[in-house]
């Protein structure tokens, strides 16, 4: 028996987790994937609680699917490090940890689609910025976002990476761009237009940049996420098959 646990960041209190879980169910309501949703921040539906229940139900193969865009502290410390504990605690269960979603090639296609949706806002005097969360202690998000900005399929436009946290933080990267372009089209590379996106917009407004700022929508649980998650599940299954085959040799 195999189960996939979709891991969402979430909040410890409030109704946001219910909204996020509903988004996930809408993505998968027409699939046969056996899955549960767990939250890194939750008083009732934590990752530890969901894994314990999954093991008690008799599952011997568990795919851990982080709904995170990049590898950073949550991926390494809250999931990967903990997986070592679960592997020892539940030795009869085979755990596979999937890669984050933001590094999948389909996300570059999503960026290009955003450029098409907002092409009426773009001309030769427009700078295009992909804005993500980032991390002050891990450089993987900076590297991955820079690669995404360089590799999106629509080579008609140059994109610039910018972060809320880390070496590419927007408080340092946006001013030079604002002095170079008459308008900045900012693509929020976040799962949904929530608290952090709105907070960042307010902080950017407070910078009083000498240019017009236009924002696209965030990912907002676009169907592309379903495509990527299914691909990540398939990769977990393939890795498990290779592992099982190696054990037989």
Give the tens place of pLDDT for each residue, 8-39. Answer: 998 887 788 898 899 899 988 888 999 999 99
* CATH 3.30.465.10 fits domain 2-100+222-248: no
Query: What tens digit of pLDDT does each residue of 189-243 get?
Result: 999 998 899 999 999 999 999 999 999 999 998 999 999 999 999 999 998 777 6
Residue 70: how many other CB atoms lie within 10 Å: 26
Which spans in the chain are helix H? 16-28, 47-56, 73, 81-89, 105-117, 140-151, 170-180, 195-206, 224-248
Domain boundaries of the chain, sorted by first residue: 2-100+222-248, 105-215
Q: Which residue, 240, 224, 176, is CA-closest to 27?
A: 224
* CATH 3.40.50.1400 fits domain 105-215: yes
Residue 243: its pLDDT value, please?
67
């Amino acid at each position: 028996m195999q189960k996939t646990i979709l891991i969402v960041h979430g909040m410890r209190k409030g109704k946001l987790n219910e909204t996020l879980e509903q988004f996930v169910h809408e993505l998968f309501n027409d699939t046969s994937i056996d899955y549960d949703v767990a939250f890194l921040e939750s008083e009732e539906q934590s990752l530890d609680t969901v894994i314990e229940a999954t093991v008690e139900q008799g599952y011997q193969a568990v795919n851990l699917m982080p709904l995170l865009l990049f590898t950073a502290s949550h991926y390494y410390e809250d999931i990967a490090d903990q997986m070592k504990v679960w592997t020892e605690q539940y030795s009869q269960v085979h755990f596979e940890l999937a890669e984050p979603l933001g590094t999948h090639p389909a996300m570059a296609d999503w960026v290009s689609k955003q450029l098409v949706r907002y092409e009426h806002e773009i001309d030769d005097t427009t700078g295009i910025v992909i804005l993500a969360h980032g991390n002050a202690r891990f450089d993987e998000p900076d590297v991955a976002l820079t690669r995404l900005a360089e590799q999106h399929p629509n080579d008609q436009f140059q994109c610039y990476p910018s972060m809320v946290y880390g070496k590419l933080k927007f408080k340092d990267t946006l001013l030079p761009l604002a002095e170079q372009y008459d308008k900045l089209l900012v693509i929020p590379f976040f799962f949904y237009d929530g608290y952090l996106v709105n907070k960042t917009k307010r902080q950017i407004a407070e910078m009083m940049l000498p240019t017009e700022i236009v924002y696209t929508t965030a990912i907002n649980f676009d169907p592309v996420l379903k495509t990527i998650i299914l691909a990540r599940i398939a990769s977990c299954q393939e890795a498990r098959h290779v592992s099982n085959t190696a054990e037989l040799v």
